[in-house]
Copies of this chain bind each other. A is one copy, B any other.
């Protein structure tokens, strides 16, 4: 790999659209804005599972306020964030999706129900009850806010065509494992593969399908560094083997 390639590749991370799709796929609780018969907004809690296009599939009771609202005016918006992210909530990555809900029929009903129940397995028990309204929020507008005032609109197509990171659900656990059992290995990765030659310790702050983020210390300073996997990973189960392969590569580079 040329130096040019290394520099280009080392910055590779999830795009805003991929971050957005990953967040929506990682969560199953949203705030829902609907409109009552007088045109006033109404905010409520709702659970969802996303379709393959990232459209949230909601299951609401027609006897609830938001259910009645959606029957009267299909326009809706959901806001999703991960409340477990520590720190200032306004620095937390979050997304707003807006559009209108449709009630799928036939095969599309089955697909939407599957998408909802993949996130909310218990819903299969009551989805067929008479008062339950299964509806798909067909997303027209997307606003992604990556935190720290990095807000931007995404087009519908950017959002729909981006892929959620399939490794996201295991990332925190694998990062914690690596910090526990591979401190020397992470240091080798930092020094040999992430350009932090003078590092004396390295701590994994994040891991995703493209690579691993490290916080390195050395000479009384700390700095962020990143090392990339050879190829984007396709499954959560690939995270740890890929990280260990980076460690192996770093050690053989160090020994050379």
Give A residues with C-beta under 8 Å from B.
28-35, 39-45, 47, 64-65, 75-79, 81, 83-84, 88-90, 92, 94, 96, 98, 122, 143, 151
Quote the shortest CB–CB distance from A181 to chain B (angstroms).
Answer: 28
For residue A90, which residues in chain B have a CB less than 8 angstroms away from its CB? 45, 47
For residue A64, which residues in chain B have a CB less than 8 angstroms away from its CB? 151
Contact among B39, B45, B94, B96 with A79 in the assembled complex (CB-CB below 8 Å) = B45
Q: List 27 A-B contacts (CB under 8 A).
A: A30-B43, A31-B33, A31-B43, A31-B45, A31-B79, A33-B33, A33-B41, A33-B77, A35-B35, A35-B41, A40-B75, A40-B98, A41-B75, A41-B76, A41-B77, A42-B77, A42-B96, A42-B98, A43-B43, A43-B77, A45-B79, A45-B89, A45-B92, A47-B90, A65-B96, A83-B83, A88-B122
Quote the shortest CB–CB distance from A24 to chain B (angstroms).
Answer: 13
For residue A39, which residues in chain B have a CB less than 8 angstroms away from its CB? 35, 39, 75
CB closest chain-B residue, reference A40 = B75
Quote the shortest CB–CB distance from A91 to chain B (angstroms).
Answer: 11
Contact among B33, B83, B122 with A42 in the assembled complex (CB-CB below 8 Å) = B33
Quote the shortest CB–CB distance from A255 to chain B (angstroms).
Answer: 47
Tell me the bound Cα distance from A78 to B43 in angstroms.
5
Tell me the bound Cα distance from A96 to B43 in angstroms.
6
For residue A35, which residues in chain B have a CB less than 8 angstroms away from its CB? 35, 39-41
